[in-house]
Homo-oligomer: A and B are copies of this chain.
C-alpha cells in the first residue's frame, strides 16, 4: 500500500527564528503592519510503501527522528493518509 505522509517541521517555541524575523520585517516595510509575527518551518511530503497505516506512520516518524528533524531545536507533526488515487 502507498501512503502519503505530511510532515510539518518548526522551531521550538523558545528558539529565535531569524528567517521568520527577517520576513516579518520585510512584510512590515511593505505595508503589512497587520502581520504581527512570522515563523517559518518546513513542509515535507513523503510517499511511503508500507503494509499498514501504522507501519507507514512508524516509518515516517523514524525518518524524521533520525534524519529530517533536529530534535534539539525543532519539533514536528506527522499526518499519514492512504493514497486515494493510483
Residues of chain B within 8 A (CB-CB) of A23 are 44, 68
Chain A: residues with Cβ within 8 Å of the partner, total of: 32
Let me know if A15 is at the binding interface, CB within 8 A.
no
Which of A35, A47, A50, A67 neighbours the largest number of chain B CB atoms within 10 Å of its CB? A35
Least distance between A49 CB and chain B CB atoms (Å):
5
Given contacts A8-B43, A9-B43, A41-B43, A67 and B34 within 8 Å (CB-CB): no
Most buried by B among A34, A44, A62: A34
User: Apart from A38-B47, A41-B45, what 4 extra A-B contacts exist at CB < 8 Å?
Assistant: A32-B62, A36-B49, A40-B42, A40-B43
